[in-house]
Every structure is written in C-alpha cells, then in structure tokens.
Structure 1
Amino acid sequence: MAEKPVWSIRNDGFVIDLAAPGVASVCFVEMGAALAGTRRFEGRGISIAQHCVMGAQAILNEGGTQLEAALFLLHDGHEWLLGDWTQPQQQLLGSLLPSLAVKAAIGQMKAGWDAAIYAAANLPLPEFWTTRQKNLVKSMDERMCRAEAITHFGPQAASQFSDNHPPKTTGTICIWGTARAEEKFAEYCHTFIGPEIIARQAALSVKTRRGATR
C-alpha cells in the first residue's frame, strides 16, 4: 500500500509492515488482546473486543447464522494494528484535508487488512459477501453503536444516530474488564474459526515477524 515499509513494533519487540497486509502476519490471539485493551468512543466506552462479541451474540440471538456472526466478530479486526479511527476523528481529518482523499486512504488501509484477516480465518472476504451479509454486519454495527452510546452517555445520545431498534444482546451492555473481553473474544474465535487455525496463525505470525527486517 506504500512505496516503503511502515514498521510497527509489536509486543515481542519484532516489527510488522503495516503497508503490506498478509495472511502470514495475522494472529488472532494478539488481536483479541489488543482489541480487549482498546475502548470505543475515544476510550470512554466498552472495548472493541466486547463490541464485536456482543454484536456477534446479538446476530445469533436474532436468528442469524454462525457464519454471519463470525463475519461480525472480525469486522473491526483491522483495529488490532491500525487503531480505532472513530467517526469524529475521520470527520476532523476531512475538515483539514481533502475529505475524499482521507476517506479513500482510511478505506484502503482497512480493506487491505480485512482481506488478510478473513482469509486467515478461512472466511469469505468482504468483497465476496452477499448483500444480506454486508447489510447485516453494517446494520448490527450501527445498532450496537447507538445502544452503547445510550448506555454510556444517556438517552440524549440517541439523537446522534439514526433511529433503529436495539440489538438483542446477551445481557445488558456494561463494561467488561480487559481480561473478560479478551477471554470472550478468544472463546468466539475458537468457536467460529477453530483452534487449529488460531494455533497455526499464532505460529506463522511469529515466524513472519522474526523474519522481517527494518
């Protein structure tokens, strides 16, 4: 995605090139840990991991398939590496820079890593999702976002979102601790992706990082 590598230092001290998304770099264990430690709404909401798990639970509770729930579980997976680009942040960037260029750049970064993540999970890539799958993931994301905002900031926050019905979550939306969020994300990854794939990707990602040079 870039002329030169964009190195990001990982927890083990090795690096990954953010500009070169690839299946070999994807680790669902590290993803869960990172997303569990990153909170939505500029750090004031539930973690990204909890958002993904509760949205996946809601899809199942509303009669969706396990595949559809799996697609939602990983829809923010790219934020494990790229961070949480909130809508206010994107709007601010758009006001300072050509908005179409900002939107296109952010979309390209996310799409590159989304493709690698879903391929690593042996799930359909977003470009091949059915219309129902695309609409379902987008709708649940918006419904969860609205429900989370109301829970955290009160009913007046609903005015900032399109009117939609609350998702059928398993339990109320209350902030989980980091350990619980990481554990639940891992549990759903094992259910939807499978322990063999998770173990394979963990080993492969370590090998890939250690082979990278700055």
Structure 2
Amino acid sequence: MTIPFWTAQGTIDLADIRPADLTAEILGDTLAKLNRFGGRTREPWSVAAHSVLVERLCLPDLGPWGLLHDAHEAFLGDFTAPAVELICRAGTRSAVEHAIRNAKGQLDRIIASAWGTSPRGLNIHLRRADLFALQAEAVVFMGVRPELAHPSDADEVDRAVGLLIEMEAARDWRAARDLWLSRVEHYAGLGRLIPPKTNPRRGIARTSN
C-alpha cells in the first residue's frame, strides 16, 4: 500500500522512500521551512537552524548525525512534546508513543543508510546536546528557563544560548538552509557523510551571495 506525499518536487511514496527523496538540497530546504515549537516563537527558528546548533554542541564524532537527527521531520513534521501529550490523552499512551518512536526510527534508518552513516539518536551525549539546544531556544525565544535535571547543566545551557545568539542570521529560513548545507558539505568533504545525488529535475537552488 502506497502513502502518497505531495511535495514541490513531485509526489513521493512514504512507504517507499528512495535516496533521490533524501538529497541534501531537499532535506535542507524542507527543514529550513519547518519552524520549531509549532511556530510559536517570537521570531522564526527552523529545524535546520536547530540541527546546526545541536551539531555545534555535540562531541566531534556525533556532529554528522547532529545535522541529521531531526531529518525525519522533513516527512513527519515537528511533533512537539505538548502535541504528543495531547494525542496520548485521546488514545492509549503506550501505543501512541510506540507508533511515533517507530516511525521516527524507521525514517532515521532509511536516512542514515542513504547518507552512508549510522543513526545515533539513542546516544546519550547527542540527546543531551539536543536537550541543551531546546532549553536555550526556550530562553531566547520564549523567555522561559526550563527547570534543569542537574544544576551542573546550567553552564551547558548558557553555552547553547551563546551559540544560538551568534546564529542570529539563521533566523531567516534561506540563511538557515544554506548554513545547514554548508555543514553537510563540510562533513562530506571529510568523507563522514555521503549525501545522495540530486535528481537534476528536482534540485533546489541555493541562495547566491
């Protein structure tokens, strides 16, 4: 059974995602147009920009997956924690959480395989970097400082806030897309990522500077 998914590059089948559907240009463009927190930030802040922030907070060997850790959202959208909680109240929590986790995991494996890397979403260091990025975003964009699990994490959150502020230009989606793509190119040059080739009829133009 197919799952038709309309995109500007053509209709794809979510039940049969191909490497040509996962090029750097397509993922970068899509993630740059997806806003974090359901778009409820004071200024736009995209999944692409968030991914670069996480990459910068990661240990060096986790950087490539830091860029890709939310790439599944190019197909699923950004499931915010409150949205998941609301959905769980309308159904069986374990079934809902299991289904979402499985869908993300399946897409992560497909993306990792197409990009010549391994999914690292369960790595504790990457998950902490993702959490610090989330908390920094809450501080900068909502004026909220979430409660920390450990007081010693305050320095890491402050570091994340500083990096986020330095990335002010990435609040524009085109700049966020180009920044994400430039980091992909960095790791591709090192042989640590092998992005799928762009279909000539589906390419998305980069912003010219």
1-side partners of 2:129 and 2:20: how far apart? 29
Q: SS at the partner of 2:12?
A: strand
Structure-2 residue corresponding to 1:77: 71
In the superposition, the TM-score normalised over structure 2's length comes to 0.80
Structure-1 residue corresponding to 2:198: 202
Q: Percent identity?
A: 23
Is 1:68 equivalent to 2:65 in the alignment? no
1:52-83 CA deviation, whole Å, 9 max, x = no partner?
00111222xxxx22x31111110000001111
Worse-superposed segment, 115-124 or 161-170: 161-170
Aligned-partner residue type, residue 177 of structure 2: E
Aligned-partner residue type, residue 186 of structure 1: L
Is 1:29 equivalent to 2:32 in the alignment? no
Structure-2 residue corresponding to 1:140: 129
Q: SS at the partner of 2:69?
A: coil
Note if contact 1:56-1:72 (Cα within 8 Å) is conserved in structure 2.
yes
Q: 5+ residue gaps in structure 2?
A: 203-209
Distance 1:204 1:92, change over 3 A: farther
Is 1:8 equivalent to 2:2 in the alignment? no
Structure-2 residue corresponding to 1:42: 38
1-side partners of 2:29 and 2:175: how far apart? 10
1-side partners of 2:78 and 2:19: how far apart? 21
Q: CA deviation at 1:33?
A: 0.6
2-side partners of 1:205 and 1:188: how far apart? 24
Q: CA deviation at 1:20?
A: 2.9
Structure-1 residue corresponding to 2:175: 180
Q: SS at the partner of 1:76?
A: coil
Q: SS at the partner of 1:122?
A: coil
Structure-1 residue corresponding to 2:50: 51
Note if contact 1:25-1:204 (Cα within 8 Å) is conserved in structure 2.
no
In the superposition, the TM-score normalised over structure 1's length comes to 0.78
Note if contact 2:5-2:12 (Cα within 8 Å) is conserved in structure 1.
yes
Distance 1:167 1:54, change over 3 A: farther
Q: 5+ residue gaps in structure 1?
A: 207-214
1-side partners of 2:201 and 2:77: how far apart? 19
Note if contact 1:24-1:205 (Cα within 8 Å) is conserved in structure 2.
no
**When the two structures are aligned, how many residues end up with a matched partner?**
189
Note if contact 1:146-1:158 (Cα within 8 Å) is conserved in structure 2.
yes
RMSD, aligned α-carbons: 2.5
2-side partners of 1:83 and 1:171: how far apart? 22
1-side partners of 2:158 and 2:66: how far apart? 13
Q: SS at the partner of 1:5?
A: coil
Q: CA deviation at 1:116?
A: 1.1
2-side partners of 1:167 and 1:71: how far apart? 23
1:144-167 CA deviation, whole Å, 9 max, x = no partner?
101110111114x424x6453316
